[in-house]
Structure 1
Amino acid sequence: MSPRPLSGSSAADAAAVGREQTRQRVIEAAIDLLTRGGRDAVTTRAVAEGAGLQPPAIYRLFGDKDGLLDAVAEHGFATFLATKHVDPDPRDPIEDLRAGWNVAVEFGLANPALYTLMYSEPTRATSAAFKAGMEILMGRVRRLAAGGWLRVDEELAAQIIHATARGAVLTWLSLPEDRRSPALLTTLREAMVAAVTNQQPAVQDAGPAGAARALHAALPEQTTLSGAEQYLLREWLDRLAADG
């Protein structure tokens, strides 16, 4: 009995799956070349040979070599994203910050060529996986802020955390092996922690009510607001504190 021919939609689905499998095979071949020989080793001919394809297939799938490298970087961001652990309610938010920073640095040190490619082009910040990773970081920063631990605004804190991790990896990779001291990574991490967090939470009780009480207590010491503005803010803070 001959097999029943695929319907139009089934044939299209099978073709899409086959295309994605081929695309993944090309990306893996490119990563292998990148890891063994650096960016210069990633030529369309070498990648095609590694994937068992003809060079024109690379252009059909990715447009050009730059498109292929962008796809490799996106794969790197997605792989990195999969290593991130999200704890929505960490027992110690400062240790959670350290752990997240360590994960980022460890990924870079374990995948030096891929990591360098991922962060070699500013335009790769548009990557969907990169954005998802930054949302995880912003969530960690918001939890610090809500607990009264943050000493700078959230956007600046996220920039400092991201920049120090990336800088730590790229600096480490630029050094000769005999000059790579683990103390460099530890010192940079602790400098980051000191730059973005307080030693003790400014708000003892988490949540809007605790923050309102802390701000209410500090209000008489500031001179930025006028008397009328202070009166209005105090009324709002009283309402928020009462809700707690």
Structure 2
Amino acid sequence: MTAVESDTAALGREQLRQRIIEAAAGLLAREGRDAVTTRAVAVAAGVQPPAIYRLFGDKDGLLDAVAQYGFARFLETKHTAPDSRHPVEDLRAGWDLAVEFGLANPALYTLMYSEPAKETSAAFKAGVEILMSRIRRLAVGGWLRVDEELAVTLIHATARGAVLTWLTLPDDRRDPALLTTLRESMVAAVTTQEPAVRDSGPAGAARALRAALPEQTTLSSAEQHLLKEWLDRLAADG
């Protein structure tokens, strides 16, 4: 087989794989997880069942691929989400976006987060990187109340909890105030009401830390002196 033929075969295989994944995702959305059988997916995709086993191994392999497809779709919404000039408003908007995706795709969202192993996908990791960049903006601006890693965990946990709780409630108990309250609780836990750093960048952060230095008791006097010298130099650069 020539290189061109090999590339053509690989492209055809990937297109077939994508067609099967989209057929499975459609069944999942319309009829639920139990409807996603290899036979039903094969019929929906217009292929023979052996093709599914050849490409995905078994039903669990297919469901893993559908979950990764879900993370990729969610990643597309993150890339297109507008950024405001205020990092706390960006945090709210990003949380709302995650919850809206979950409520619009309940079966897919439940599959995506049904097992921790699903979160090893490249798309999931890329989404976390986007979230980390927004958390970093909060940290640089002095808005972050907790450690960056903890902030990411809190944001994920509250958004996931909001979606999964909402989906378990009967229609007459689905009060939008639940989502708003959970979001604002997350914002209060993750951010401060006023930025600790007035000026962005290392110089502003250095000045803020230098101002708070006399109040701390963790460092020895020698360590405080050395740190103050470093902070003075950083502050002077601004």
What TM-score do you get using the length of structure 2 for normalisation?
A: 0.97
Hey, what does 2:216 align to over in structure 1? 222
After superposition, the C-alpha distances for 1:114-153 in whole angstroms (9 at most, x for unaligned) are 0000000101111000000000000000000000000101
Runs of 4+ aligned residues of structure 1 deviating over 3 Å after TM superposition are 85-90
Hey, what does 1:211 align to over in structure 2? 205
Larger radius of gyration: 1
User: Is the 1:86–1:136 Cα contact (8 Å) retained in structure 2?
Assistant: no
- Runs (5+) with no aligned partner, structure 2: none
Q: Which of these residues, 129, 135, 159, is aligned with residue 165 of structure 1?
A: 159
Q: Which of these residues, 97, 117, 123, is aligned with residue 123 of structure 1?
A: 117
User: Is the 2:83–2:90 Cα contact (8 Å) retained in structure 1?
Assistant: no
CA distance change for structure 1 residues 86 and 58 in 2, over 3 Å: closer, same or farther? closer
After superposition, the C-alpha distances for 1:71-121 in whole angstroms (9 at most, x for unaligned) are 000000000000014789741111111001111001000000000000001
Local SS of the residue matching 1:231: helix
Partner AA of 2:146 in structure 1? V
Local SS of the residue matching 1:210: helix
Partner AA of 1:21 in structure 2? Q
Hey, what does 2:14 align to over in structure 1? 20
Q: Which aligned pairs between 1:45-64 and structure 2 lie closer than 5 A?
A: 45-64=39-58
Q: Which aligned pairs between 1:49-198 and structure 2 lie closer than 5 A?
A: 49-85=43-79, 90-198=84-192
In the TM superposition, residue 209 of structure 1 has moved relative to its aligned partner by: 0.5
Q: Name the CA distance, whole Å, in 2 between partners of 1:85 and 1:237.
A: 36
Q: Name the CA distance, whole Å, in 2 between partners of 1:222 and 1:54.
A: 69
Local SS of the residue matching 1:35: helix
- Runs (5+) with no aligned partner, structure 1: 1-6
The count of corresponding residues between Structure 1 and Structure 2 is 238
More displaced 10-residue stretch of structure 1: 32-41 or 111-120: 32-41
Cα root mean square deviation, aligned: 1.4
What TM-score do you get using the length of structure 1 for normalisation?
A: 0.95
